[in-house]
A and B are shown apart, each in its own frame.
Chain A
Amino acid sequence: MPVLCKTGCGKNAVLKRPKTGDVLCKDCFFWAFETEIHYTIIKGNLFKSGDAVAVAASGGKDSTVLAHVLKTLNERYDYGLNLMLLSIDEGITGYRDDSLETVKRNRDDYEMSLKILSYKDLYGWTMDEIVEQIGRKNNCTFCGVFRRQALDRGAAMLNVKCIATGHNADDIAETVLMNILRGDIARLKRCTAISTGSEGTIPRVKPLKYTYEKEIVMYAHYKKLVYFSTECIFAPNAYRGHARALLKDLEKIRPSCIMDIIYSGETMAVKEDVSLPSQRTCSRCKFVSSQEVCKACVLLEGLNKGLPKLGIGKSSKAKRMLDEYHAKQQMSIDELNKEFQANNCIAKGKTCRSGGCKSNGLISNDCQGNKNKNEHLNEKANEMLTVYLLPDDECIVNGISPTDNDQENFEEIACEGSCGGGSISIAF
């Protein structure tokens, strides 16, 4: 027997909302779903009129629905936002390559511009290669740390005011539980914030913070949105799995517990006498970090030195590993430099494009490449390029051909990534 929609619109209900238990017809569900996100955006002060906003798009259900709803609401309520898609290609064969095809379809469907950054270009490593080094354990650490920074880099390139991510209520509840189980008090403190980011960083906002995962799936299904639904092939071993399993069991008993957990997270605070890591910028890459050198740099350094476990576990261990490594390397560096001088500088006769470079062909990292021709980039990007551009000499030293003069910034930065793979004198 058909049940009538609870809003009293007269139509037959087609679904029972997981969030409230109310039965609704398709149209009322769409309206409720979208208006709730609108409510979150308005009450949470997420955007300002005229902002350029990057939607972090993976091709999965959350980001697809986010892009679709933001576009709809932007038109309906006249937010005046300039929306664009930003994707990160981790280089996971059989997962990301397929999902990126979905993102490209979204780009065409929603008429938004799309920027794709890849780990290979940024860091010189694909996730496939990283997993080969580190194994199936701890690989999510690399992926997560690199993606976080990659999004920051992408946002700086796109010159946007903020990044909107597709984290839904289930994700956040899961994160709260996981951070308690792991005792990660710093993350516990900020994981329920709807907008994160301090001065000097590009804030991230979560418009789907109060949206149930199940309703996102339903919305995508009834709206016939195209999304990619395979789980990452490397993910099953992650610690997050424990928290996810617990949340699923709890949700069966009391569906409202997802919101209750978020409420708990919002109403509790870390005691004042507990010392927390302060946020600052990494001394090497100038991106957000809680340490002198950020996790991404440590992990990358570990990969490049053949010590993939460097960033995993205690920092005292990392120090010991590095000391041993440096002792070994010192001699071979000296030898290499001698040999290099003897063999006539390869870069000889070619002018250094970056101007400020003082490098004489020796392996060193005190070069300051800062000629930036692309004026449309904002200051942040310029600053970043200052740090990331390496002079041609070093590229040659490391056996990689220099980038073409006319190429975009993006690829110039890419050069850094691949060069980083071979530079050996970077001191910690």
Chain B
Amino acid sequence: MKCKKCDSIGTLAIRKEYFFCDDCFLSYVNHKFRACIGKNTKIKPKDKALLCLSGGSSSIVLLDLVMNSVSLETHKKLRITPVLLHITGLKNDSLNQRNSQLLHDLSKKYNTVINEVNINDYKWKNTVDLNFCTKFLGLTHNPTAKLDYEAKIKQNLYYEVAKEMECNLIFTGETNTTLAQNLLSNIVMGRGSQVENDIGFCDGRNCNVKLLRPMRDLSVEELDHYKRIKKLDSVCDTNISVNSIQKVISNFVDELQTNSPATISTICKTADKLGTAAKDIKESQICSLCQSNLDVHNSKLTAIEAISFSKRISSGDISKAIKICSNELDNVESSNFLFPDYNITLCYCCSKTYSELNNTSV
């Protein structure tokens, strides 16, 4: 088969349909990456960007794409100063070591240095109330909540480090495959109002630092070809526990994608169109774990009210329940009723995660 760009012989096929030769493919991936940054116009010249690298394939490719763009001498040069960050302490020791080694080697190759931060040893300075931050990371009784919590803590650490290093941008390496999975996980865990920031190109919840996802138009399939052609190594970075919501969703998306190849792009396009239902959010309080707005709905009756009413009624609080129905009593303190550990500064989902992690007896 012939390459769809030039007439030479194609060496690879994307989605079993589009053929490319190696050279055209590399410029195609690079173009997609640059187009994603360009069309979103969030970057100004002389910005300082923190590249968050796990050692997995997407972060390796992100590093390669950024370093190549930065070192260009043409007008296409990407005018940012990259700062490399690797967070350790989230995986087991042997994996940690392999990751570190790989990233050190790579940074040498690009003539730069990598900053390593161990999440367990980090002294939080800027974030308000995260004294509970790392005590849950070793727990295993609830993989769903743990993964959710880990992701939020990691993101907080990105912001901390970015502030420390005086970066005003953060680059993370989520591919569209990851983002499709994250979108569904978000929905399933009740984070529907946070989709825009969690999945979109730019996460603007932190007012000083913007978190960008420049890899969001690339798929895992494309990364694998890129890595193969460029002879890049990566450490396998899947450590998702089998018995978690995230794993079930990731398996589901993979399977559906195999049978109907438009699945992931459809999900991502849906994500681009979603915002939050809350109208006036300027006055709203902010969740101290995920930085989302706490007031996210306008209507009187939501699933939270319904489930807290259910809790109330099936634990014998009957007289109050009757009063609530006849509008004599407001169904307030609903979240406290749901989560004994509820903190007034956490959103619904973060309270839930926090409660489930705290409840080690289950």
| A residues in contact (CB < 8 Å) with B | 6-9, 17, 19-20, 22, 24, 28, 31-32, 35-36, 38-40, 42-44, 176-177, 180-183, 185, 188, 194, 209-210, 242, 246, 249-250, 253-254, 256-257, 259-272, 274
State the Cβ distance, A3 to closest chain B Cβ, in Å: 14
Interface of B is mostly: helix
Interface of A is mostly: helix
| B residues in contact (CB < 8 Å) with A | 144, 183-184, 186-193, 195-196, 243-245, 248-249, 252, 256, 263, 266-267, 269-270, 273-278, 296-297, 299-307, 309-311, 313-316, 318, 321-322, 324-327, 348-349, 352
Chain A, residue nearest B293 (CB): A267
20 A-B residue contacts at CB 8 Å? Answer: A19-B307, A24-B314, A36-B313, A39-B324, A40-B306, A176-B187, A180-B183, A180-B184, A181-B256, A183-B267, A253-B244, A257-B245, A259-B303, A260-B188, A260-B349, A263-B303, A266-B299, A267-B278, A268-B195, A274-B273
Known: A185-B273, A254-B245, A264-B193. A7 touches B266 (CB 8 A): no
The 8 Å CB contact of A263, one of B144, B248, B263, B302, is B302
State the Cβ distance, A135 to closest chain B Cβ, in Å: 19
Chain B, residue nearest A266 (CB): B302
For B327, the chain A residues whose CB sits under 8 A away are 42
For A242, the chain B residues whose CB sits under 8 A away are 252, 256
For B325, the chain A residues whose CB sits under 8 A away are 35, 38-39, 42
Known: A249-B248, A267-B193. A254 touches B275 (CB 8 A): no
Q: Considering the chains assembled together, what is the distance between the CA atoms of A269 and B196 in angstroms? A: 10
Q: Considering the chains assembled together, what is the distance between the CA atoms of A242 and B310 in angstroms? A: 29
| Contacting pair A177 B184 (CB below 8 A) | yes
State the Cβ distance, A274 to closest chain B Cβ, in Å: 5
| Contacting pair B277 A32 (CB below 8 A) | no
What 5 A-B pairs have minimum CB-CB distances, sorted nearest first? A264-B192, A260-B190, A7-B316, A210-B306, A267-B193
For B243, the chain A residues whose CB sits under 8 A away are 253
State the Cβ distance, B331 to closest chain A Cβ, in Å: 8
State the Cβ distance, B86 to closest chain A Cβ, in Å: 31
The 8 Å CB contact of B193, one of A177, A250, A268, is A268
| Contacting pair B275 A261 (CB below 8 A) | no
Known: A180-B270, A253-B243. A268 touches B306 (CB 8 A): no
| Contacting pair B187 A264 (CB below 8 A) | yes
Chain A, residue nearest B251 (CB): A249
Beyond A40-B301, A253-B248, A271-B274: 17 further Cβ-contacts under 8 Å? Answer: A31-B318, A39-B309, A39-B325, A177-B187, A183-B266, A185-B273, A209-B306, A249-B248, A259-B190, A261-B188, A263-B348, A264-B186, A266-B299, A266-B303, A267-B276, A268-B276, A271-B275
For B326, the chain A residues whose CB sits under 8 A away are 42
State the Cβ distance, A62 to closest chain B Cβ, in Å: 17
Q: Considering the chains assembled together, what is the distance between the CA atoms of A7 and B312 in angstroms? A: 9
For B183, the chain A residues whose CB sits under 8 A away are 180
Chain B, residue nearest A272 (CB): B275
Chain A, residue nearest B314 (CB): A22
| Contacting pair B248 A250 (CB below 8 A) | yes
Interface centre among A254, A256, A260, A267 (most CB of B within 10 A): A267
The 8 Å CB contact of B314, one of A20, A176, A194, A261, is A20
Interface centre among B193, B326, B327 (most CB of A within 10 A): B193
